[in-house]
Amino acid sequence: MSDTRDAYVEKMKAKLDEWNADIAKLEAQAKQKEADARVSYQDQLETLKNQRNAAEEKLEKMRKGGSEAWNDLKEGLERAADSLGEALRSAQSRFR
Indicate whether 56 pLDDT > 80: yes
Q: How far apart are alpha carbons 39 and 17 in whole angstroms?
A: 25
For residues 52 and 19, the answer to whether their CB atoms sit within 8 Å is yes
Q: Quick: pLDDT tens for 6-51.
A: 888 888 889 889 988 988 888 888 777 776 677 777 888 888 888 8
Look at the chain and report how many structural domains it folds into.
1
Residue 16 in contact with residue 59, Cβ under 8 Å?
Answer: yes
Closest by CA to 94, choosing from 26, 17, 28, 16, is 26
On whether the pTM is more than 0.85, the answer is no
Amino acid at 64: K
